[in-house]
Amino acid sequence: MSRAPDIDTPQEAAAMNDYRTRIWTAFQDLYEDKWNQSKWDAAVADFKSRHSPAVIEALRAKKLLPPWEALEAQLKKGPPPFLRPGWTSPLLGKRVDLDWIDEDASFVSIRGNKAGWRDAKILVIEFWATWCRPCHRVFPHLSNIANRPGMKVISYNHEGIFNNTETNIPAVKNFVLSRQDMNFPIFVDVKRLAINSLFKPGKNISIPLVFIITPRDKTIRWIGNAEEMEAPLANIVAAV
C-alpha cells in the first residue's frame, strides 16, 4: 500500500497511523464536559514513547502533526455543531424564500442558465470553490443529475465563501472551461446573495454543500454532501 503524500519513511508512516488511531480518533468524542485530561496526558506520553523525537519533529515540520497544546485545545473544543451526532440544520423541512435566485445582477454566469427552476420537480443548489478538492469529486455526479428529467441543478461559486475575500472571476471561468465534468449551470455569487440567503442560514458551514428543494412548495428536503445525496434524492423523487 502506498504511503500518503509527504510521508517519506516507514517510521513516519507508522507514527501517522498511530496518531490517527491513538490520538485523533480516540479523542473525537471526548470534547467539552467529556474531556478526560488524564487519558490525554497518558496518550501523548505513550505516543512519545513509541516514536523518536526526530520522527515527530519531521512530521511537525511537514505540518502533518500539530503542536500538542494546539491539538489539545482543538479536541477539547470539539467539532463544530453541524458535525456533531444528532445535529439537524434549522432549514431542513422548512419553506424558504427562493425569489433571490432570479436576481441576475447579483450573479455572474459562467455556464448555463437558471431557466425553468420554478417548474422543476427537484431543484438542487450546490455551493463550491475551486480550491476545495472534495468539491471536484462531485462535479460528475452533479452533471449526471442535471441531465435527469425534472431536475434542475444550480451551482454557486465563491472563492471566499468562508471569509470576505473577493473571487477572481476570470480564474473561475478558466477553471470551469478546463474541465469536462461540469455540465450544469454555474454562477459566481459576487454579492454573496446565495450565501446569505441559503448557505449561512442552513448553518452547515462546509463545502461541497447541496440543498435538495422542491420548488412547488419551496421546501428544503435534504442538506449535505453531493456524494451522499443519491439515496435521499431517490426517496424525495418518489415522495413528491
pLDDT > 70 fraction of the chain, expressed in percent and rounded = 97
Q: What is the DSSP letter of 101?
A: G
Question: Does 55 share its domain with 141?
Answer: no
Check: CB of residue 175 under 8 Å from CB of residue 191: no
User: Average model confidence (pLDDT) for the chain?
Assistant: 94
Confidence band for 2, pLDDT divided at 50, 70 and 90: very low
Q: State how many domains the chain has.
A: 2
Question: Does 41 share its domain with 116?
Answer: no
In a domain, 17, yes or no: yes
Three-class SS of 40-96: HHHHHHHHHHHCCHHHHHHHHHCCCCCCHHHHHHHHHHCCCHHHCCCCCCCCCCCEC
Question: Does 184 share its domain with 226?
Answer: yes
Question: Does 141 share its domain with 74?
Answer: no
Contacts of residues 80-88 at CB distance under 8 Å and 24 or more positions apart, as own/partner, are 80/205, 81/203, 82/203, 82/204, 82/205, 82/206, 83/206
Check: CB of residue 187 under 8 Å from CB of residue 108: yes
Residue 21: domain span: 10-78
Confidence band for 6, pLDDT divided at 50, 70 and 90: low
Check: CB of residue 189 under 8 Å from CB of residue 106: yes
Q: Which of 19, 47, 78 is the last residue of a domain?
A: 78
- 209's enclosing H/E stretch is strand 209-214
Q: What pLDDT was estimated at residue 217?
A: 97
In a domain, 233, yes or no: yes
Question: Does 111 share its domain with 71?
Answer: no
Question: Does 124 share its domain with 201?
Answer: yes
CATH number of domain containing 208:
3.40.30.10
Question: Does 60 share its domain with 155?
Answer: no
Confidence band for 47, pLDDT divided at 50, 70 and 90: very high
